[in-house]
Amino acid sequence: MKPSQLRTLLENAITARTPVLIKGAPGVGKTDLVTQASETAGADLVISHPVVDEPIDYKGLPAIREDHAEFLPFGTLRKLIDADRSTVYFMDDLGQAPPAVQAAAMQLILARRINGYQVADQVCFMAATNRKRDKAGVAGILEPVKSRFVSIVELEPDVEEWAAWAACYNLPPELIAFIRFRPQLLFDFTPTSEMKNSPCPRTVANVGRLMAMGLPESLEFEAYAGAAGEGFAAELMGFLKIFRQLPDPKLILMEPEKAYVPDDPATLYAICAALARLAEPGNMDALVVYAAHLPEEFSVLLLTDSERQNPSIVNTRAYAKWAARHHSVMT
């Protein structure tokens, strides 16, 4: 599933108190989506990491009570029993947990009861795991545990959805433009025992954080290579060279009819990103004039990215006229 599809599924599952298991490569956004879905559903989120848990964490501590012994719930288990509002209990990296911990968790997921204690009706169980081929320490999930989840779904990255997310979190426009130009580099995950990273949504976002630091150009390649691999860094530096040699986007908006219109895709992606960053109601007339000189797909890209950067532009007459002319591709 794409992130938007999975998020919708999770929101509905939380409302219905239905357990779902998410699988996918490291860094594709599994935890973030559970967090977002919980917020949208108005649920509290409790995140656990079974790989560092003990079976006793799911059973409680043994204690003497008057003339008998029993297990007393504590910590997170106590929260699940006492929950008085919608709560998501998310078991992250479940596939890395030892079998004994998985078996203890299994009782909670299906029976919703352990050692005589009932989990509150407001609690919904969710879990995530990497795949065996990801070399993330996943030995597997017990068959009875897997079948406790109503559905097991795999999360796959999507470039346009990542671009929308990146714009909302203020990642550099030039990085977003680069990923659009080289979409396969959003997710080129290669498991390895070497101490190096490869491109995935998490590591690409880390590159964006490095870019926001304003590093000296002499440090950029090594820093970006450390975040997402040397191949990614080499291609990004080539794209940034193009981006940094663009004409001043402010000058383009001053004379949009006469402004330079590139013909190669890399430069077009770069110039659209630079202009979208400047979009505001006051320059929409000029922006739309320049967009009219661009190839159709880049005209749409420029205006949709401009809207993400500054939603107030949709209230302008220039944007309304442009949207009407491009109705077929905007719906």
User: Comparing C-alpha atoms, which of 91, 318, 119, 295 is closest to residue 306?
Assistant: 318
Tell me the per-residue pLDDT of 149-202, one tens digit each, with 9 for 90 and over. 999 999 999 999 999 999 888 899 999 999 999 999 999 988 888 889 999 999
Q: What does the chain come to in residues? A: 331
**Average pLDDT value for the chain:** 91
Tell me the per-residue pLDDT of 272-309, one tens digit each, with 9 for 90 and over. 999 999 999 999 999 999 999 999 999 999 999 999 88
Whole-angstrom Cα distance, residue 191 to residue 244? Answer: 33
Q: Are 175 and 263 in contact (CB under 8 A)?
A: no
156: left (phi > 0), else alpha (psi -120 to 50), else beta? beta
Whole-angstrom Cα distance, residue 312 to residue 37? Answer: 26
| Mean predicted confidence (pLDDT) in 216-245 | 95
Q: Are 271 and 264 in contact (CB under 8 A)?
A: no
Does residue 102 surpass a pLDDT of 60? yes
Does residue 60 surpass a pLDDT of 80? no
SS3 38: helix
User: Comparing C-alpha atoms, which of 234, 226, 184 is closest to residue 203?
Assistant: 226
Does residue 9 surpass a pLDDT of 60? yes
Q: 3-154, superfamily in CATH?
A: P-loop containing nucleotide triphosphate hydrolases (3.40.50.300)
CATH 3.40.50.300 maps onto the chain at: 3-154
Q: Are 77 and 60 in contact (CB under 8 A)?
A: yes
The predicted model scores a pTM of 0.83
| Mean predicted confidence (pLDDT) in 244-263 | 91
